[in-house]
Amino acid sequence: MDLYERIYDIVRAIPAGKVTTYGHIAEAIGSRGGARLVGWALNAVALSDRVDIPCHRVVNRLGELSGRMHFETPFVMRERLEAENVGFRGEAVDLSRHLWIPPMAG
């Protein structure tokens, strides 16, 4: 399976109301230092017409919305998360309440 598709499968598995990080996805696919690769894969979604991948549920390691500039407006990512009842502490997602860690690839 294509590496990007493995990333997309994980992102599709993130439950509503939860988020995960680029680094956690990278670890799950066996690429411990591959957070940038995950970012590139999600950026490719933003440049396509795919709507089946909830990229808004992926944040940086601090819970910040580092991908927000790849949405229609810089506010869409937060609006989608808030619509799923994801809580924030300032500008960052409250990871103590909303972090979902994907299972390791088998």
CB 72 within 8 Å of CB 42: no
Residue 82 vs residues 31, 34, 44, 51: alpha-carbon distances, Å? 30, 28, 24, 18
Catalytic amino acids?
55
Within 13 Å, how many C-alpha atoms sit on residue 101's CB side? Answer: 6
